[in-house]
Amino acid sequence: MSEPMTNEQPPAGSLKNNFLDILYDTLFHPIITFRALDETEATNPQFLFYALAAIITVSALAPLIQLANTGGDLGGLPLGIPVSTLIGVAVWGFMGLATGLWAYAFTGHARIRTFLTLSGLATLPWILMGPVSVLKFGLGPMGAAIAVLGALLIWLWSVLLFGLALMITYRMTIERALIILATPFTTQLILLAWIFGFFGNVRQLAFHL
């Protein structure tokens, strides 16, 4: 079994307040940055707005990246960008709240705002999807293969940052973090099984009256 995450954190003053610095440090020094944010976020809510800015940026870029990958009508962007942004913010809030409540059940610590901050910043790797999507235009089939590989790495990068946010916020082990991350998927599978079982029984009853 892995040891719990330690509570050793860098001094609060070492955390930079500039959004671009937070972006860089989240991408390339996530452990130090998340620990510093964990220490200072409760007394400095501006970092929650940085997380919101990250979600808005990533969500607003999504229609542009889709347009670059699949083609389409530019006329859809004026509606697509705000809709994508609203959906992204809603999903971030729901996922953060749901995962935070699961973590609270395991740890007894209600630190939803801190987790929303760190999990929002965990989406920052998706900003790199823009440059990755451009590769296929200049390099042909090889560029398309590199773009797919890049998208997979970005997804994995973001998932690892999300798991790290969970571990640091709630001071938990890797095993507990994996259980919490897997629980929503398990719940969905159980729910689907119940739904199919219910309608299966209804169908059998209907055809055997």
**Domain boundaries, given as residue ranges, for the chain:** 12-182
pLDDT (tens digit per residue) in 62-78? 888 777 777 666 767 77
Question: Is residue 49 pLDDT above 80, yes or no?
Answer: yes
Q: Please answer whether residues 3 and 175 qualify as being in contact, where contact means their C-beta atoms are separated by less than 8 angstroms.
A: no
Prediction pTM value: 0.76
Mean pLDDT value of segment 5-14: 45
pLDDT attached to residue 178? 81
Which helix (H) or strand (E) segment holds residue 90: the answer is: helix 77-107
Question: Is residue 202 pLDDT above 80, yes or no?
Answer: no
Q: What angle do CA 39, 42, 45 make, to 5 degrees?
A: 115
pLDDT (tens digit per residue) in 133-153? 777 666 667 777 887 888 889
Question: Is residue 54 pLDDT above 90, yes or no?
Answer: yes
Tally Cβ neighbours within 10 Å of residue 145: 13
Question: Is residue 116 pLDDT above 70, yes or no?
Answer: yes
Question: Is residue 80 pLDDT above 80, yes or no?
Answer: yes
Torsion of CA 163, 128, 38, 106, to 10 degrees: -20
**CA 187 to CA 31: how far, in whole Å?**
30
Question: Is residue 9 pLDDT above 50, yes or no?
Answer: no
Mean pLDDT value of segment 13-39: 84
**CA 123 to CA 109: how far, in whole Å?**
23
Q: Measured in whole angstroms, how far is the alpha carbon of residue 47 from the centre of its chain?
A: 16
